[in-house]
């Protein structure tokens, strides 16, 4: 069996101290760029790997963050994961990822998180928190997503209502009057009293923004234009196809999609049918995933600043790992409406 390469071997190869090699590995310390690069080249050339078990015994930590997310069926998840990895690396941490099926919920992932050597975990919540025991684990954790932790954990979320309110308001102010909503349901029209009796979902919050934009302008929502759909590209394709094929539904002059995957599917189906975007029908998405810029036409979308979202989640978690006992915090990102060629 080949001898394991040690940090001492790397130091000897490059003529620097073990501390300097450690600083390079942890992205810390002050040194000349050429020294850092020389050490990084030696690490790669020699095939050095961090001994996680040894680090944990020596320091009490592994410098690993866990990320539990749903599957990668739509573009937001890999975008979020990449953003969290970048934020963690900037703090000297690596990331290990575990996925769970959205239908089964986060509880599926909990047994695995206890087997993996992470100092703490970021949980993406894809559904309302009905079992509070999920928030009580033997490691620090931070929740990301749209579901209130009720003050039981640090939480990072997005301005779902206000962002959609702004985007739909912009369409209405430009003269659109038949704005379809893809990803919501007519059930989201329930009064405030009913909403309080059950947890709001991402869909209900974003649909509420759609409704408010109409109400603020003295307009009634036409619920025939509100379509439920799976939040993937095929869901957008099928939803807009159903609208266009329904003889009882008015033809939309714009489509508000509750994520970018839906919007990309909508644009695909409209183009297949010869409907011009944006001349015949405008389209807006939500998330500003990288694909939004490169689809044809480029997608106008809500940017909820996922890099800021990820950075705050990582910073909150590292603070807990390092022993913070401050009260649990909530952070809500800001947003921008990024205008591209799918709107006029």
**Predicted confidence (pLDDT) at residue 196 exceeds the cutoff of 70:** no
**Predicted confidence (pLDDT) at residue 67 exceeds the cutoff of 60:** yes
**Predicted confidence (pLDDT) at residue 35 exceeds the cutoff of 80:** yes
**Predicted confidence (pLDDT) at residue 333 exceeds the cutoff of 80:** yes
Q: What is the pLDDT of residue 191?
A: 46
**Predicted confidence (pLDDT) at residue 49 exceeds the cutoff of 80:** no
Dihedral of alpha carbons 149, 151, 156, 158, sign: positive
Instruction: Give the rounded percent of residues in the chain with a pLDDT score beyond 90.
Output: 69
β-strand pairing of 154-157 with 141-145: parallel
Q: What is the pLDDT of residue 44?
A: 82
Q: What is the pLDDT of residue 192?
A: 53
Both tokens of residue 315? 């910073």
Both tokens of residue 17? 């101290």
Q: What is the pLDDT of residue 230?
A: 95
**Predicted confidence (pLDDT) at residue 103 exceeds the cutoff of 90:** no
Domains of the chain: 7-49 (1.10.260.40), 61-157+306-335 (3.40.50.2300), 160-303 (3.40.50.2300)
> DSSP per residue over 132-175, as a string?
GGGG--SS-EEEEESS--TTSSEEEE--HHHHHHHHHHHHHHTT
Q: What is the pLDDT of residue 26?
A: 72
**What strand order describes the sheet that includes 336-338?**
226-227, 179-182, 254-257, 282-286, 300-303, 336-338
**Predicted confidence (pLDDT) at residue 228 exceeds the cutoff of 60:** yes
Q: What is the pLDDT of residue 72?
A: 83
Confidence of residue 101 (pLDDT cuts 50, 70, 90): confident
3-state secondary structure of 128: coil
Confidence of residue 57 (pLDDT cuts 50, 70, 90): very low
Segment of 48-62, 94-108, 198-212, 236-250 carrying the highest mean pLDDT: 236-250
For residues 138-161, give the mean pLDDT.
Answer: 95
For residues 21-34, give the mean pLDDT.
Answer: 83
Residue pair 154/208 in contact (Cβ under 8 Å)? The answer is: no
Q: What is the pLDDT of residue 209?
A: 97
**Predicted confidence (pLDDT) at residue 187 exceeds the cutoff of 90:** no
**Predicted confidence (pLDDT) at residue 64 exceeds the cutoff of 90:** yes
For residues 57-65, give the mean pLDDT.
Answer: 70
Kindly list the distances between the CA atom of residue 170 and the CA atoms of 174, 184, 247, 276, 298, in Å, as whole numbers in the listed order: 6, 19, 28, 20, 18
Considering the chain, what is the average pLDDT of its residues? 90
For residues 42-65, give the mean pLDDT.
Answer: 69
Residues in the chain: 344
pTM: 0.81
**Predicted confidence (pLDDT) at residue 194 exceeds the cutoff of 90:** no
């Amino acid at each position: 069996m080949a001898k394991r390469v040690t940090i001492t071997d790397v130091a000897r190869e490059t003529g620097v101290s073990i501390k300097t090699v450690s600083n390079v590995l942890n992205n810390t310390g002050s040194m000349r760029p050429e020294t850092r690069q020389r050490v990084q080249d030696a690490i790669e050339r020699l095939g050095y790997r961090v001994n996680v078990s040894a680090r944990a015994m020596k320091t009490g930590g592994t410098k690993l963050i866990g990320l539990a997310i749903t599957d990668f069926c739509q573009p937001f998840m890999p975008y979020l994961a990449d953003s969290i990895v970048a934020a963690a690396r900037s703090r000297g941490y690596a990331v290990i990822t575990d996925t769970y099926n959205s239908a089964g919920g986060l509880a599926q992932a909990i047994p695995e998180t206890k087997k993996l050597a992470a100092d703490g975990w970021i949980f993406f919540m894809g559904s309302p928190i009905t079992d509070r025991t999920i928030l009580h684990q033997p490691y620090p954790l931070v929740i990301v997503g749209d579901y209130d932790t009720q003050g039981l954990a640090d939480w990072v979320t997005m301005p779902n209502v206000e962002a959609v309110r702004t985007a739909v308001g912009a369409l209405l102010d430009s003269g659109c009057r038949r704005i379809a909503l893809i990803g919501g349901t007519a059930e989201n029209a329930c009064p405030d009293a009913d909403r309080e009796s059950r947890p709001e979902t991402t869909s209900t919050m974003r649909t509420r923004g759609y409704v408010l934009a109409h109400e603020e302008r003295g307009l009634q929502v036409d619920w025939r234009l509100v379509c439920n759909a799976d939040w993937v590209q095929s869901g957008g394709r099928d939803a807009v196809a159903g609208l266009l094929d329904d003889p009882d539904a008015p033809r939309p002059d714009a489509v508000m999609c509750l994520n970018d995957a839906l919007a990309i599917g909508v644009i695909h189906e409209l183009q297949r049918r010869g409907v011009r975007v944006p001349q015949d029908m405008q389209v807006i998405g939500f998330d500003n995933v990288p694909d939004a810029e490169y689809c044809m036409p480029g997608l106008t979308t809500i940017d909820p600043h996922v890099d800021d979202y990820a950075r705050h989640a990582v910073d909150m978690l590292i603070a807990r790992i390092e022993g913070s006992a401050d009260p649990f915090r909530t952070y809500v990102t800001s947003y921008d409406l990024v205008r591209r060629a799918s709107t006029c």
